[in-house]
Chain A
Amino acid sequence: MIEEDEGGAGPLGGLRVLELADEKGQFCGKLMGDLGADVVKIEPPGGEQARRVGPFLDDIPHLEQSLSFWYYNTSKRGITLDLGSDDGRQLFKRLARDADIVLETFQPGHLDGLGLDYAALSADNAGLIMCSLTSFGQSGPWRDYLGSDLLHMAAGGQMASCGYDESDVAGGEPIAPGGGNAWHMGGHFAYMGILAALVSRTFTGAGQYIDCSIHEACALTTESAIANYVYRGETLIRQTGRHHAAQPGPRTQFRAKDGKYVTALVGGRLNPKYVADLAAFLDSYGMAGDLLDAKYQDPKVIAEATSHIIDDLVAGFIASLPAEEVYHAAQDRGFTWAAVRAPEDLLDDAHLGDRGFWKEVAHPELGRSFIYPGEAAIYGGSPWRISRRAPLIGEHNAEIFSGELGIPAEELAALAKSGVI
């Protein structure tokens, strides 16, 4: 049983995670850390290469000032260790003896070559759960291929489903959604696999090895595209700001008065009740046009007037107001519409404010605090929290190597000098 401290441990309180992860796995480590696990990030001496990815604080490239690294490494402690050295490997094995989870993202076979495979690490720790989160998994013809976010979005099927109507951008180029979501997709599935193994361990005490593939995670994340092919043999086309489809469908993205866009899902929903509600809504702004006409209670008339309703009336209505006003007015009347916000617009979202979503995270080394995004879900009995900002390079070397493993300070200094830590 875990004893909860007064502030309330997160649901993963009491678990120790060793993270050997680059850009592929740091998000999965954050998911565990923010939910209370003690995540120890093990970087090569000099720092993990994900620290070189921007944007940077004040746009000055610096290993301690990557905002991307900051974001994906909250709630972790950090140590450095050269696994290429005998001493480094021995220290890692000692750490793994008391760990619950090892998360690693090396090319397949790398840790085996170092004698740090699951069989070796679990020999002294039968409860160990080890997850290898790699681009393509531990087997198969693409096993040793290199990946990147863009590469995964291509092969995973995201790009085949995303792009523009020919009338917006000619040429049909597939467009990969931004934001680094291949790593998110992989991280979500890896987290699921790890948690499933943890739940299983609560019954058996036994750990296990998990081989998780980012390519497969991405290939699973295109909603109905696979079903459309498997059941109907269809290949879907790309459409501006809306669903892939077997045949072109009505647009759903409209430019508002302030130049921002609104997503209004109208096509496919135009039954008499919806049209009556829509007419009343538009009429409250004096923008209903002819939609109040009784003829629009006939489904046949509606079907014939779909383009008029969407491209003239809805588009005209949205063009007359700021996007955010359309969004809230529509939702208050039960319409499932939204403004297309830029990320920075979210800071003003009162709903997120009500949920306490934004977190102030202290960066004591800078004497400053910054606002970070918060939790995907509110855990009623075991709070999510950012327990600390991302670690500086080797910040917790003394705390962990000396404080926990009992290595004397002079020995630690020697290890530092010889490049082991």
Chain B
Amino acid sequence: MSRRRALEGIRIIDFSWVRAGPWATRWLGALGAEIIKIEWPENERGRLPSSTTPQGLETNLNTSGNFNDTNVNKKSITLNVRSPKGLAIAKRLIAVSDVVIENFSSRVLQKWGLGYDELQRIKPDIVYVSMSGYGHTGRNHHYTTFGPVAQAASGLTFLSGLPGKPPAGWGWSYMDDTGGMYGAMCALTGLYHRNATGKGQHIDQSQMVSAVPLNGPALLDFTVNGRGSRRTGFPPGNRAHWPGTPVLDNYRGPTVAPHNAYRTHPGDYNDWCVIVCHTDAEWSTLVDVMGAPAWARDEKFATVSGRLEHQQELDERLETWTATLDKYELTERCQAAGVRALPVQSAEDRVENDPQLRERGMYRELEHPALGRHKVQNAPFKLSQTPAFNHAASPLIGEHTREVVESLLGMGPEDVRAGFEDGTFWPPKRARFPYQEDMLR
């Protein structure tokens, strides 16, 4: 039996909103699962407010660029799950699905009457992935998160920055991205286990808790060696070690120098490169790439211990060379010789200037009815037999309401009209989009 997509035939009921949950189901959709996103415009979070609506377009529920990239490969239905009729429809959809995913606070689905016990009653082998801030068990289960809060509470934020300064942290919701990864990973793992054993399960994923294992070596340095991270010289910025402090491992690989960011020509905001030499041989090659200037041939830089000891001078000298070169030119020169160097890349750099991402087809255009044609981010894994790809732009809100309830639940046009009139499929007093008017014809 051949399949075009890895998750062909798998249906997922997706109650998720904002970013982490939708980022999870986006990938499951790219892998071929049918994603049915259940939304309600009155308490929507993710489509609004939008700082990524193109200039000149009206900001409405269908014009967020970030929503589009985060919600490709899905269908959207609008359903008032807080009404008895809407809840009954949700249950009927769950009964014909394989996975339920949501990223609400810990007790929301239970309060709706859709806790795991009920889900299991509706569909005995259901895989239920809850992606909450703090998980469904534990005394702080009711706490709420955004990415930056999960990052702070879990120790991630603390590991980034310069010594003696406040934490620099992460400049975005890394744990929305990564929480989304774990949501997708849990769903896939639960599906594999179900297919192997016939048994579903509830998987209790937590955004904050998922971040803690990402600090493994730092945690073991404490539990094994008794060394905490509140110490002189930590975190060491981009370096593996901060000059003038005890030579300790700082949880980013080998303790070596050079290991830093350096300015490149012409010196604009993102004109930086990074250079790392793991061995004395790599350093020696770098010296050659630089044209063997006298300073670099100094014996004090010949060994890793010497370079660590004289790191400040090393970095300053290196930067006098990097500052003369464009970051891509520098990268090519170094890498051609076997020296580890890459440019710091902005989003524009990645989309427009990165030759590797271009060759690998990282950004391909999709047409969206309200936003137009735009580049969308593709999968970093290429499956030889069942490739993942983006097959549909993000859905307009409620775009597939009629299609889904008719095809999956056998409802007819009368039921659809009634559902719009009684507030099951759309708030009666709220203006409808033209495509919703079409559903009523």
Once the chains bind, are B27 and A55 in contact (CB under 8 Å)?
no
Once the chains bind, are B212 and A378 in contact (CB under 8 Å)?
no
Nearest-CB residue, chain B, relative to A130: B384
- For B189, list chain A residues within 8 Å (CB): 11-12, 35, 195, 379
Give the Cβ gap from B430 to chain A, nearest Cβ, in Å.
21
Nearest-CB residue, chain B, relative to A72: B216
Give the Cβ gap from B31 to chain A, nearest Cβ, in Å.
5
Interface residues on A, range: 35 or more
Within 8 A of B (CB), among A117-153: 118, 131, 136-137, 139-143, 145-153
Once the chains bind, are A377 and B210 in contact (CB under 8 Å)?
yes
Once the chains bind, are B196 and A1 in contact (CB under 8 Å)?
yes
Nearest-CB residue, chain A, relative to B339: A146
Cβ of B439 under 8 Å from chain A: no
State which of B144, B155, B252, B276 has its C-beta within 8 Å of the C-beta of A346: B155
Once the chains bind, are A154 and B173 in contact (CB under 8 Å)?
no
Cβ of A189 under 8 Å from chain B: yes
* A-B contact list, 16 entries, CB within 8 Å: A72-B216, A151-B340, A154-B272, A157-B347, A157-B350, A160-B345, A161-B172, A177-B159, A189-B181, A192-B27, A219-B350, A223-B172, A341-B155, A350-B139, A351-B139, A381-B199
Once the chains bind, are A159 and B173 in contact (CB under 8 Å)?
no
Given A11-B192, A137-B360, 12 new contacts (CB under 8 A): A71-B219, A147-B340, A160-B345, A191-B185, A203-B1, A216-B357, A219-B357, A242-B169, A242-B171, A370-B224, A372-B219, A382-B197
CA distance A145 to B347 in the complex (A): 21
The answer to whether residues A352 and B138 also contact, given A157-B345, A379-B201 and a CB cut-off of 8 A, is: yes
Nearest-CB residue, chain A, relative to B362: A216
- For B320, list chain A residues within 8 Å (CB): none
CA distance A140 to B357 in the complex (A): 8
Nearest-CB residue, chain A, relative to B1: A204
The answer to whether residues A162 and B168 also contact, given A176-B238, A231-B374 and a CB cut-off of 8 A, is: yes
Within 8 A of A (CB), among B379-419: 379-386, 388
Once the chains bind, are A164 and B165 in contact (CB under 8 Å)?
yes
Give the Cβ gap from A345 to chain B, nearest Cβ, in Å.
7
The answer to whether residues A177 and B156 also contact, given A200-B6, A243-B148, A372-B223 and a CB cut-off of 8 A, is: yes
The answer to whether residues A346 and B219 also contact, given A148-B340, A232-B54 and a CB cut-off of 8 A, is: yes
- For B51, list chain A residues within 8 Å (CB): 224, 228, 246
CA distance A242 to B150 in the complex (A): 12
Cβ of B326 under 8 Å from chain A: no
CA distance A198 to B194 in the complex (A): 12
CA distance A354 to B165 in the complex (A): 33
The answer to whether residues A58 and B225 also contact, given A175-B168, A265-B149 and a CB cut-off of 8 A, is: yes
8 closest pairs, A vs B, by CB? A231-B65, A381-B201, A54-B249, A193-B381, A216-B380, A161-B171, A195-B188, A11-B193
Among the stretches B34-42, B229-237, B302-310, the one at the interface with A is B229-237
Once the chains bind, are B219 and A344 in contact (CB under 8 Å)?
yes
CA distance A186 to B203 in the complex (A): 23
CA distance A255 to B165 in the complex (A): 11
Once the chains bind, are B344 and A169 in contact (CB under 8 Å)?
no
Cβ of B209 under 8 Å from chain A: yes
Binary flags per residue of B52-80, CB closer than 8 Å to A gives 1, else 0: 11110000000001101100000000000
CA distance A40 to B218 in the complex (A): 25
Cβ of A85 under 8 Å from chain B: no
Within 8 A of A (CB), among B166-203: 166-174, 176-178, 181-182, 184-186, 188-193, 195-203
Once the chains bind, are B351 and A178 in contact (CB under 8 Å)?
no
- For B362, list chain A residues within 8 Å (CB): 216, 219
CA distance A235 to B222 in the complex (A): 39
- For A379, list chain B residues within 8 Å (CB): 186, 189-190, 201, 203
Binary flags per residue of A62-74, CB closer than 8 Å to B gives 1, else 0: 0000011011100
Cβ of B227 under 8 Å from chain A: yes
The answer to whether residues A177 and B174 also contact, given A145-B335, A199-B191, A334-B144 and a CB cut-off of 8 A, is: yes
Cβ of A155 under 8 Å from chain B: yes
- For A172, list chain B residues within 8 Å (CB): 269
Nearest-CB residue, chain A, relative to B153: A338
State which of A35, A53, A370 has its C-beta within 8 Å of the C-beta of B220: A370
CA distance A137 to B222 in the complex (A): 35
Cβ of B116 under 8 Å from chain A: yes
Once the chains bind, are B209 and A376 in contact (CB under 8 Å)?
yes
Among the stretches B83-91, B254-262, B291-299, B421-429, the one at the interface with A is B254-262
The answer to whether residues A200 and B214 also contact, given A137-B360, A175-B238, A354-B137 and a CB cut-off of 8 A, is: no
Give the Cβ gap from A168 to chain B, nearest Cβ, in Å.
6
Once the chains bind, are A235 and B347 in contact (CB under 8 Å)?
yes
Give the Cβ gap from A210 to chain B, nearest Cβ, in Å.
5
Nearest-CB residue, chain B, relative to A323: B152
Once the chains bind, are A208 and B386 in contact (CB under 8 Å)?
yes
- For A241, list chain B residues within 8 Å (CB): 148, 157, 166-169
Once the chains bind, are B223 and A370 in contact (CB under 8 Å)?
yes
Once the chains bind, are A229 and B346 in contact (CB under 8 Å)?
yes
Cβ of A89 under 8 Å from chain B: no
Once the chains bind, are B137 and A378 in contact (CB under 8 Å)?
yes
Cβ of A76 under 8 Å from chain B: no
Q: Which of A52, A118, A216, A350 has the most CB of B within 10 A?
A: A216
Once the chains bind, are B388 and A196 in contact (CB under 8 Å)?
yes
Give the Cβ gap from B145 to chain A, nearest Cβ, in Å.
6
State which of A157, A210, A252, A327 has its C-beta within 8 Å of the C-beta of B346: A157
Once the chains bind, are A380 and B116 in contact (CB under 8 Å)?
yes
CA distance A355 to B385 in the complex (A): 39
- For A378, list chain B residues within 8 Å (CB): 135, 137, 203-204
Cβ of A420 under 8 Å from chain B: no
CA distance A230 to B68 in the complex (A): 11
Once the chains bind, are B252 and A193 in contact (CB under 8 Å)?
no
The answer to whether residues A221 and B178 also contact, given A140-B360, A141-B356 and a CB cut-off of 8 A, is: yes
Cβ of A4 under 8 Å from chain B: yes
Once the chains bind, are B222 and A263 in contact (CB under 8 Å)?
no
CA distance A54 to B225 in the complex (A): 12
Once the chains bind, are A380 and B222 in contact (CB under 8 Å)?
no
Q: Which of B8, B202, B343, B345 has the most CB of A within 10 A?
A: B345
The answer to whether residues A67 and B217 also contact, given A169-B165, A203-B1, A354-B137 and a CB cut-off of 8 A, is: yes
CA distance A382 to B197 in the complex (A): 11
Cβ of A77 under 8 Å from chain B: no
- For B3, list chain A residues within 8 Å (CB): 200, 203-204
The answer to whether residues A163 and B168 also contact, given A12-B192, A342-B155 and a CB cut-off of 8 A, is: yes
Q: Which of B147, B225, B355, B380 has the most CB of A within 10 A?
A: B380
Give the Cβ gap from A387 to chain B, nearest Cβ, in Å.
16
State which of B192, B350, B371 has its C-beta within 8 Å of the C-beta of A199: B192
State which of A4, A23, A162, A350 has its C-beta within 8 Å of the C-beta of B170: A162
Within 8 A of B (CB), among A250-273: 252-253, 255, 261-263, 265
Q: Which of A23, A139, A180, A219 has the most CB of B within 10 A?
A: A219
